[in-house]
């Protein structure tokens, strides 16, 4: 069955829903094409104790700001799903769940695009890609050299410690997922071996406020990517690890080590029965702490500059220091029975048959607007600002794109009327 709309949106997560809300508000015909269900990623690809790392008050989708009883809290995954489901109930978007978009290509017969889907063709004047950028779990090739009796799961498939066999667990990666999963296992008494990468960290609270609140007051979430000192690098950087679990607290890998967690540098390969680590543990811990201290120092300077009456800040004192770096570990002798790969995701844009990608295969755009007229992206990290991929600012990006689409569609309609007269 063929469908004709002014705008087709690929993906019905928070980004796609935000665009849909604003299009519906303006009376622009559109459809939302979602391969799974609304909220699928939050529902099916997060562990049981997963929660937001940003406070609930930052959840402010267009027409659907957080209105619960715990604005300073952190929604658990089922609460995030419920928040999105209430959004759908509130404005009833034209979403088609269970529809896979197999290709997006320019329409050869008239301006616009043709979308080949699992339920027929969609013809649209404008297309918004709101499918995120985390499509395929990434696992290193050398994982195949590990024996079959070691259970391996990616962070997207990890649910709880009971899912894994008894014995030690190796967690590879210390981005937000890796650090939180390591804590999840650690809190149940499992002995965790953690490969520490170069992700930065930050405090949960400092000088009487959540650090996110300070950063918002300081304008960090509003900084445009072209204003960043390293715009060519920032989109690839890992987010700071911290947690909203149990009301929110710091994640300090040194404290975990003091409590018995085993820390190593990044995993570089497998050699027989040995894991091979890069000797970068000390450097990575120090680097993460330097970011932590630097953010706190920036908050101190902001408070002093504006004469704010705030609590006194406490200087960070490392509770543990690593000894000589261990570069090899016999995983069989160590009793490691399972591995959680928190090694990120690859993007898969193969369904987009338009010249909108750079030499590295990343979407090339300016604030979501590509060089192909009528094709847009939304929901990507640093699409425009630090908050772009989050509940906090995705609505602002949606407003920008919808304003552009509204002008283009009006211009097209005017041209068509002139041609017909």
The model's pTM: 0.95
Among residues 315, 341, 367, the one where a domain terminates is 341
| Strand-strand pairing, 328-330 and 113-117 | unpaired
CA distance linking residue 96 with residue 81, whole number of Å = 17
- Residue 296 tokens, joined: 């706190």
Do residues 271 and 379 share a domain? no
Do residues 353 and 309 share a domain? no
What CATH number is given to the structural domain containing 257? 3.50.50.60
> What residue ranges in 149-219 does DSSP mark as E strands?
151-154, 168-172, 192-195, 205-206, 209-210
Q: What angle do CA 49, 53, 58 make, to 5 degrees?
A: 125
Do residues 97 and 50 share a domain? yes
- pLDDT tens, position by position, for the chain (421 residues)? 699 999 999 999 999 999 999 999 999 999 999 999 999 999 999 999 999 999 999 999 999 999 899 999 999 999 999 999 999 999 999 999 999 999 999 999 899 999 999 999 999 999 999 999 889 999 999 999 999 999 999 999 999 999 999 999 999 999 999 999 999 999 999 999 999 999 999 999 999 999 999 999 999 998 888 888 777 767 777 889 999 999 999 999 999 999 999 999 999 999 999 999 999 999 999 999 999 999 999 999 999 999 999 999 999 999 999 999 999 999 999 999 999 999 999 999 999 999 999 988 999 999 999 999 999 999 998 899 988 888 999 999 999 999 999 999 999 875 555 444 4
Do residues 169 and 221 share a domain? yes
CA distance linking residue 306 with residue 323, whole number of Å = 42
Among residues 299, 323, 341, the one where a domain terminates is 341
CA distance linking residue 351 with residue 116, whole number of Å = 9
- Residue 9 tokens, joined: 């949106």
Total domain count for the chain? Answer: 2
Of the candidates 70, 51, 81, which has an alpha carbon nearest to the alpha carbon of residue 248? Answer: 51
Residues in the chain, total: 421
Do residues 210 and 327 share a domain? yes
Do residues 118 and 142 share a domain? no
Do residues 321 and 395 share a domain? no
Task: Print the domain residue range for 107.
Answer: 3-135+347-420
Do residues 370 and 336 share a domain? no
List CB contacts of 268: < 8 A, sequence separation 6 or more: 276, 277, 278
Do residues 124 and 228 share a domain? no
Q: 54 to each of 210, 233, 291, how far by Cα in Å?
A: 9, 23, 18
Among residues 307, 341, 375, the one where a domain terminates is 341
Do residues 162 and 224 share a domain? yes
By 3-state DSSP, what share of the chain in percent is helix, strand and coil, each rounded to 5? 30, 25, 45
Query: Looking at residue 381, what DSSP letter applies?
Result: T
């Amino acid at each position: 069955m063929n469908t004709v709309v002014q705008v087709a949106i690929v993906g019905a997560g928070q980004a796609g829903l935000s665009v849909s809300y604003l299009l519906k508000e303006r009376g622009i015909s559109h459809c939302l094409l979602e391969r799974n269900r609304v909220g699928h990623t939050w529902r099916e690809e997060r562990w049981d104790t997963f929660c937001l790392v940003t406070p609930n008050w930052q959840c402010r989708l267009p027409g659907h700001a957080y209105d619960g009883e715990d604005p300073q809290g952190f929604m658990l995954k089922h609460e995030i799903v419920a928040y999105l489901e209430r959004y759908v109930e509130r404005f009833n978007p034209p979403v088609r769940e269970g529809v896979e978009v197999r290709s997006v290509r320019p329409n050869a017969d008239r301006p616009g695009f043709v979308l080949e889907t699992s339920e027929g063709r969609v013809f649209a004047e404008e297309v918004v890609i709101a499918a995120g950028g985390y499509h395929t779990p990434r696992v290193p090739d050398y994982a195949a050299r590990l024996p079959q009796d070691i259970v391996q799961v990616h962070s997207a498939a990890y649910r709880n410690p009971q899912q894994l066999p008894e014995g030690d667990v190796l967690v590879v990666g210390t981005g937000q997922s890796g650090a939180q999963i390591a804590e999840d296992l650690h809190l149940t008494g499992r002995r965790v071996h953690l490969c520490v990468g170069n992700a930065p960290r930050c405090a949960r609270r400092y000088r009487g406020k959540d650090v996110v609140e300070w950063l918002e007051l300081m304008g960090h979430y509003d900084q445009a990517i072209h204003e960043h000192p390293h715009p060519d690098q920032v989109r690839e950087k890992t987010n700071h690890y911290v947690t909203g679990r149990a009301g929110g607290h710091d994640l300090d890998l040194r404290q975990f080590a003091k409590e018995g967690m085993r820390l190593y540098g990044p995993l570089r390969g497998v050699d027989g029965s040995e894991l091979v680590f890069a000797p970068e543990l000390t450097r990575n811990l120090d680097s993460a702490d330097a970011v932590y201290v630097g953010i706190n120092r920036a908050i101190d300077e902001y408070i002093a500059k504006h004469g704010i009456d705030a609590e006194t800040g406490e200087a960070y004192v490392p509770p543990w220091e690593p000894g000589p770096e261990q570069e090899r570990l016999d995983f069989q002798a160590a009793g490691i029975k399972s591995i959680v790969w928190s090694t990120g995701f690859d993007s898969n844009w193969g369904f987009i048959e338009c010249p909108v990608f750079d030499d590295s295969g990343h979407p090339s755009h300016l604030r979501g607007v590509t060089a192909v007229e009528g094709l847009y992206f939304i929901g990507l990290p640093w699409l425009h600002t630090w908050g772009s991929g989050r509940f906090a600012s995705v609505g602002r990006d949606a407003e920008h794109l919808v304003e552009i689409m509204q002008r283009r569609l009006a211009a097209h309609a005017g041209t068509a009327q002139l041609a017909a007269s």
